[in-house]
Structure 1
């Protein structure tokens, strides 16, 4: 009895919340069908494989779109709640960190040990360092 009840709960939760594994399955299926299409040699086989690929691509797109929509709805509801402002600042901080260019030097120490942050001073320091 417990197993049946647990199964019903899992099934209804999967229908309501969606399952990320479903997205993974569809995308993986699309990749497999694409590989089959590329590897096929005969024209008839290629034509059939191409149709299968188009169908699986369409299904994967629909599932991904549905998952994204659900995720954004949850995000927007979270932003509208009481702690939404904190969440917004966290998202902004994360986005800013990801957008940083790690190849660019923003500050270095000068000859006297002070931190230089202006571009002109940084360039002069590098110039003196290498010469």
Structure 2
């Protein structure tokens, strides 16, 4: 396990993930589907029943859609339908205006600034304080920025093994695998070695600000 903790987070992940997949193939083998020419009568009957049910379901959905569209078109042709469309269009336009027009933030003195370049500088100063702890406004309380409450200490600490261990315990069993094709049970089987490795990976990711590609 210690031999795959070298390098950056991406190298660490690729090294161990490929090792887990290779060992799983050697130990458990690879599932192979049954040839269509060797299907039993029961399998053929079940497959045919499934196809028939699927065809009937598609017909029912198409019929329901036709009826729904017919009702909708009748409604749109009425005065009530026209008013409903007008109301929806107005509501959408109001939401668009709210998003496009309201841009402001507070400066160090608590005054509202609305100019885009000043807002950008304010954000730059805040994030410099958030991640580095220095820069314009580094002595002020994050709650005084007028942009909500931020837990800045979460970006400056290390992730502990107990946090990783707790996260593994909370993950559900028998879940579908993701793109990496590694089940959660594999990480649990690695025990404390897996916890130490994942903790190291998480902390390398935090320090580099870069997630593994996979």
Bin for the TM-score computed over the shorter chain: 0.3 to 0.5
Q: Which has the higher helix share?
A: 1
Larger Rg: 2
- TM-score, normalisation: structure 1: 0.46
- TM-score, normalisation: structure 2: 0.31
The higher relative CO (CA closer than 8 Å, separation ≥ 6) is in 2
